[in-house]
């Protein structure tokens, strides 16, 4: 006899590769990504800002963390500068990490907004498959299996990536901020 039986729906989906996940498992690296999201910085500047934020790390450790992020494809070299016989690298994040939790009452307050978003996304997915279904399926056939998963959800992953990238583009080109400002 079961003491509890409940249907547990999927509420969150995290799409990332293992190398990116490993790079994000360290609090210092998350802070570095946050710092580099809005401005490019050198190792020295990152080191100084980490100290200001209460992280007492030596520059070689900071360099190691930046290299881990760079190797994972989360940070890129944005600029090179001549610096007393050498070259100073300035890094910038190409990834934004949101580490928030919605307040408990948010589900109730956002229910109508969620319904609108769900309807819009369902319509978008239908349009994506109507116009680009063959391409999505062709790309899905070339994907490698997830090393952790027995079941593969390639098309779902591709659609999530398309929507995520589009939302990121709308944010980065200023459209999202313009739309939010127009509402206020």
- pLDDT at 18 > cutoff 90: no
> pLDDT (tens digit, 9 = 90+) per residue, 127-146?
999 999 999 999 999 998 87
pTM: 0.76
CATH number of 18-93: 1.10.10.10
CA gap 78, 92 in Å, rounded: 6
* CA–CA distances in Å: residue 117 to residues 23, 96, 111, 112, 124: 31, 22, 10, 9, 10
Q: Where are the extended beta strands (E) located within the chain?
A: 41-42, 75-83, 86-93
Spell out the domain ranges in the chain. 18-93, 106-183
> pLDDT (tens digit, 9 = 90+) per residue, 81-126?
988 889 999 999 998 888 788 898 999 999 999 999 999 999 999 9
Output the DSSP codes for 59-112.
HHHHHHHHHHHHHTTSEEEEEEEEETTEEEEEEEES---------TTHHHHTHH
């Amino acid at each position: 006899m079961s003491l509890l039986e409940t249907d547990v729906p999927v509420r969150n989906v995290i799409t990332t590769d293992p190398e990116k996940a490993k790079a994000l498992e360290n609090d210092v690296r998350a802070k570095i990504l946050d710092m580099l999201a809005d401005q490019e910085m050198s190792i020295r500047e990152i080191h100084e800002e980490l100290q200001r934020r209460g992280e007492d790390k030596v520059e070689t450790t900071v360099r190691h963390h930046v290299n881990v992020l760079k190797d994972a494809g989360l940070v890129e070299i944005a600029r090179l500068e001549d610096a007393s016989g050498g070259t100073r690298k300035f890094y910038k994040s190409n990834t934004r990490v949101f580490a928030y939790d919605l307040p408990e009452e948010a589900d109730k307050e956002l229910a109508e907004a969620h319904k609108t978003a769900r309807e819009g996304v369902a319509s978008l997915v239908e349009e994506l498959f109507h116009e680009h279904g063959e391409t999505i399926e062709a790309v899905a056939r070339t994907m490698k299996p997830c090393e952790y998963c027995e079941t593969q959800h390639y098309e779902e992953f591709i659609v999530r990536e398309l929507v995520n990238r589009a939302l990121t583009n709308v944010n980065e080109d200023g459209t999202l901020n313009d739309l939010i400002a127009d509402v206020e």
